[in-house]
Structure 1
C-alpha cells in the first residue's frame, strides 16, 4: 500500500495531511524503499528524526515544473545522482550508452541525465530562488574535490562548485544529514554550517594553514599531472575519521574545504538504520512499467557490514565508506532474515550475507576502533600486517543461526570473499562450511590479475596466494564430496598492465583450466588510486611512473587475451602475440593459445577433402 511509502506526488503528500515537506529528496534512481538504496535509507533516517521527506524520483529535468511537484520545502532539497555515479550508470567502459538501466523500472534508459547531480541542482535553483540544496550519494561523494573525468577526458572541478549546491555530504551520510537537519531546523542558515564531519563546503575565507592542509590549487593540478598525483596522495592519506585532517582546495579566490570523515556507525546505530520501516519494494507508482532489476539481488540479501580494509587500488571504498569495518549485530540480521518467509516472493534462498567484503565482520585490528587505520600502511598488501587479527568465528555463528531459521532452504555468500584473509585463519571451520553450505556450484573470487607486478599496483595479494587458495578450495571440495568451481573476476588494461602481462595471464588461464567469463575492462571512475594513476601516469603512493593503456587497440588486445578461446577474439589475440614476440603461442601445440591455421579455413579444407 502506498500509505506506507514516502510520498512521490503532491496527491500522496496531501493524503498524509502535510501542507509541505521539510525536505524534497531528488534521486536519479527509481524509488525503491529498501535500505540498499541510498535515497530510501537517508529519507527513512530523517523520518525517524521527525522530519517530513518527499521523494522526487527520476524527475524530467527538461521540465522545471517537475521540480515544483511538492512546492517549496520548509528546509532544503536533497539531491543525489543515485546509487551509482550517473556516468557509470549511463555509459559502458567504451563510453557507449548502456542498453539497460538496472535502477530504472523495466530497465529503461534515458530516465537519468548525464551528470545528474549537477543537472538536478540547476533545475532546483531555477524552480526555487535561494533554495538551500544539499548534495550527497556516490556521485557527489567521489567527486567532492577536483577529479579526473573519464567521459570527458578532463580534470573537473569539485562537484560542489559545478552544481552550485550549498553543502556536500560525503560517505554514507546518516550522521551528517541528521546533524545538518537539526541545525537548519533550529534556525541556522545553510551557509553557516561548516563544522559537520563528512561534509564539504565552499568559502572565500582562506583557511588557517596551521589547522588545515591546503592542497595544490586546481590551476596547478590542471597544469601538471605529477602535482595532481601528489594532491591525490594527500587526499588518500586523509580519509580516516580518527587521523584525517581538514583539507582545502583553492580555486582562485574560493576554497573548497573538506572536513574530516564522519565516524562509522556503531553496531546499535547500524542495526537501527537497517530496521527502519522500509516497504522493501518498488513504489506502486510505477505500475506496469516493469521491475527495477537492482532490487532482485538485494531483496533477500543481508547487509551485514560496511567498510573495507582490503585496500584495492581500483576500489573507491577508501574514499566513500572508509577502511574501518562496522557491523550489524547477529540478532538484528537474524530478525531480518526471519521475516523473509512472510514475503510471498521469497523462495527460501538468502542470496547473500555480506558487505563490501563478506568475511570482514570486524576491524583489521583492535587499534582501528580507537585510533583508526594506519594512513601509509595496507592491512593485507603486499603482505598481511603482523597486527592483523583473523577470526571467522562470529561470522560462522551468524551463518549457522541463519541456516537454522524456519523457511530458509539455503544461505549463499555472493558479495566476495577475501581469500588471502581466509587463508590466514588457522581454523578452517569457516572454509569448510563455506564450501559445504554457502556456494551454489560456483564461488566468485577476484584475483583480478596474475602478474605480481600488476597485483602490487592493484593492492592485491600475489599469484602464489591465489594458487594456494585454489588448491585448498579443490581439496576441501573433495573432502566434503562436492564438485564446485571458481569463477575468477579479472580486470584488463589496469594501470601497470602491459601486453606482456596480459599474455602471462592468458597462459595462467590456459594452464589452470579457469575460464575468464567475468572480465571487466578497467573504467577510471572518480575516487580511486587506479584512476589517479590512469590520468597522471604516476602511482600516488610511490610517485613512480606507471604504464597506462590509453590506446583503444591495445585495450582491446588485452581484453581479448583474457578470453582467447572466443573465436571472435582470434584476430586481436594473434596481433597481440605477434607484437609481444610470442608467436610460439600460435600453433597446434597443447600450450598454444590459438591455432596456426584459421578454424574457418580448416573447415573449408576438410569439406574439400571429403569431396
Structure 2
C-alpha cells in the first residue's frame, strides 16, 4: 500500500514502487510532514519533480545506512534549531528535554550535528556526496564564534568535510543540484550558482576577499571587519565572497533573487500531511504547541537581525499568495483537533504580512542586512504597509462558524505594528487575549547601541501607544515585556535603567531569556570581540557565569518566590542601589 508520507525506510519506499532512493535527507528532529521544516519542503519539491526521496529523522549511526547509498546525494539539514542550542542551556548545562522529539524526550541529537552526521555517513559510504543545508550549516559558512568552545571555528565545510553547502532558497538549490547530478554532471558545475558555498584549491577571481581565518584568530578587530564585509555582501548583486583557510579557500556565492509568486505557490501546494509520521506514539511538543493549527505565511525575515533566520532563509520577504493561506485555513478548520481558534498564523511573523515593497528591483543592490531600524539607520524607504489587505485576509479566514478567533500567541513585532495604527486596533480588539508579549531585549540605550538595535525611544513610544489604545478601545489588555539577560553591553549599572522603566510604568515582565550568542549574529560578534561592530568602540561584556545568573535573577525581580534569594545575592555583591529598587518595589505591593 502506497504511503502518503515521505518514506522513512526502504519498506515504505517499496510501497511506492521505488527500488532505489535518489536523495536521502537527514534531520535530527522527529519527522513532522509540515512546510515549516526546510527538510520537508525540500523533500516534497524534489518528489514532485520526479525524484525518489527518503528521510532519516533523529538517526543513530546505523540508521544512516537504512536506505543504502542514494543515487545522487545525502542532504544533511540537522534540524530547525542549532544542535548546540537544543542540547545546552545559556549556562552550558545539558538540557533534559527536546520539544522537537516524541514525548519531548532527549534522543539521538549529537553535538555539532552537521559534523557528526557527515562523519557517520562517510563511515558507511566513503564516496557518497554529502551536502549541508539549513540553520546549523548556514550560520557557520565563514569563520564564526562558537560559544560552547569559546573560540573561533573554521567554516563548517572544513570541519565537516562535506562536499557542498547550500543556503538561502534551499528548496530551489536542492532541485537544481538533483537535476545536475541526474544528468551526470558533477557538483562543480554548480559552483557559479547563487546560494552555493564550496571549498576551492584556487583563489577565486572577481570576488570580494574576506580577512583569512588565521588573521581573524589573531586579531578580534580583524574578525569584526570580516563580519562587516560579510553582512554587506548579503545581497542579490554581490560578486560573492571568499575566505582563505590554511592553504585553501571558502567560496560563498551571492544570494538568490526572491522567489516568484509561482515558485511560492509550487512550494506550498505540495501534498503535506501536516502531522507527525504515524511511527510516533507520544505527542511531539513543538507540533502540539505551534504547528497543529499554524500556517506558514512567508520565507525570509527582514526584521529580526539578532536571530539567525535571516542567515538561513534570507533577509528578503517571500510571501505566500493569500489564496494559499486561506486554503490552508480551510483545511485546518476541518480537523477534529481544531478548537475554533487559530494561534500561530505566521509563527511570529503575522504582522509582516502587511509589508510590501515600492520597488523590489531596488533591493537587489542593497547593502543593508535588515530592512528595519538599527542603531544607526532608520527603516528602509522602499518599505510600505498594506494594512487593509492584511486585515481583510484575517477577516476572510474568520468568516466561518467554526472559527471563534485568530490570536497571535507569539511576541508582538512592534517595529512593524508601530507604523500601522489600523493593525494595532485590529490586534487589540481581536488578536490577543488578556495579555500580549513584546520582545524588548533591553530598555538601556547603551545596551541597545552595542547590539545595533534602534534607540529605546521607539520601543517605549510603542508601549505607551499600545496601553493608551487599549483604553480607547475599551479593552483591558496588559502588555508583558520579554527581556534578554546578559546581552553584550549589559552591566549592573545598565540593568538599573531597565528596572526603572519597568517599575515606573508598572509593566509586567513576562519572560527573561538568558542570552546565547548564536553563530554569525551581530550579538555573537560583539560578545566575542567586545567591540561595537560599526564604531569599534569597546563594549562591556559579562562572561562570568555567576554574574550572568545574577543579572537574570535581577530581571526576574517580580517573582515573589525568588525575591529572598535575589536580595541575598545583591547584599553579597554590595549592589545596594539595585537592592533599594527591589525593596521599594516590594513595599509598593503591600
Range into which the TM-score falls when normalised by the shorter chain: over 0.9
How far does residue 422 in structure 1 lie from its aligned partner after superposition? 2.2
1:586–1:593 contact (8 Å) kept in structure 2:
no
Does residue 223 of the first structure (1) align with residue 211 of the second (2)? Answer: no
How far does residue 420 in structure 1 lie from its aligned partner after superposition? 3.4
Greater Cα offset, 221-230 or 261-270: 261-270
1:419–1:466 contact (8 Å) kept in structure 2:
yes
After the TM superposition, which residues 363-378 of structure 1 pair with which residues of structure 2 at under 5 Å, given as runs?
Answer: 365-372=357-364, 374-376=366-368
After the TM superposition, which residues 265-344 of structure 1 pair with which residues of structure 2 at under 5 Å, given as runs?
Answer: 265-286=259-280, 288=281, 290-296=282-288, 297-310=290-303, 312=305, 314-344=306-336
Relative distance call for 1:2 and 1:293 in structure 2 (3 A) is farther
TM-score (normalizing by structure 2): 0.93
How far does residue 584 in structure 1 lie from its aligned partner after superposition? 4.7
How far does residue 480 in structure 1 lie from its aligned partner after superposition? 2.9
Greater Cα offset, 430-439 or 475-484: 475-484
How far does residue 569 in structure 1 lie from its aligned partner after superposition? 4.8
Relative distance call for 1:38 and 1:201 in structure 2 (3 A) is same
| Equivalent residue, structure 2, for 1:15 | 15
Relative distance call for 1:494 and 1:577 in structure 2 (3 A) is farther
How far does residue 369 in structure 1 lie from its aligned partner after superposition? 4.2
Does residue 122 of the first structure (1) align with residue 119 of the second (2)? Answer: yes
Using the alignment, how far apart are the partners of 2:231 and 2:129 within structure 1? 30
What secondary structure is seen at the aligned counterpart in 2 of 1:168? Answer: strand
Using the alignment, how far apart are the partners of 1:339 and 1:279 within structure 2? 11
Deviations 1:39-80 (A, max 9, x none): 21111011111111011111112xxx3222112211111112
| Equivalent residue, structure 1, for 2:476 | 483
1:88 to 82, 85, 90: 85
| Equivalent residue, structure 1, for 2:498 | 505
After the TM superposition, which residues 436-455 of structure 1 pair with which residues of structure 2 at under 5 Å, given as runs?
Answer: 436-455=429-448
Does residue 405 of the first structure (1) align with residue 400 of the second (2)? Answer: yes
Relative distance call for 1:88 and 1:586 in structure 2 (3 A) is closer
Deviations 1:161-185 (A, max 9, x none): 1111110011240111111111111
What secondary structure is seen at the aligned counterpart in 1 of 2:352? Answer: coil
TM-score (normalizing by structure 1): 0.90
Which protein is bigger by CA-based radius of gyration?
1
1:9–1:70 contact (8 Å) kept in structure 2:
yes
Using the alignment, how far apart are the partners of 2:128 and 2:431 within structure 1? 50
Tell me, which stretches of 5 or more residues in structure 2 are unaligned?
none
| Equivalent residue, structure 1, for 2:344 | 352
| Equivalent residue, structure 2, for 1:113 | 110
| Equivalent residue, structure 1, for 2:72 | 75
Relative distance call for 1:484 and 1:451 in structure 2 (3 A) is same
Count of matched residue positions in the alignment of Structure 1 and Structure 2 = 584
What secondary structure is seen at the aligned counterpart in 2 of 1:39? Answer: helix
How far does residue 110 in structure 1 lie from its aligned partner after superposition? 3.1
Using the alignment, how far apart are the partners of 1:556 and 1:360 within structure 2? 34
Using the alignment, how far apart are the partners of 1:159 and 1:153 within structure 2? 16
1:357–1:416 contact (8 Å) kept in structure 2:
no
What secondary structure is seen at the aligned counterpart in 2 of 1:491? Answer: strand
1:574–1:586 contact (8 Å) kept in structure 2:
no
After the TM superposition, which residues 137-152 of structure 1 pair with which residues of structure 2 at under 5 Å, given as runs?
Answer: 137-152=134-149
| Equivalent residue, structure 1, for 2:150 | 153
Tell me, which stretches of 5 or more residues in structure 1 are unaligned?
597-611
2:28–2:57 contact (8 Å) kept in structure 1:
yes
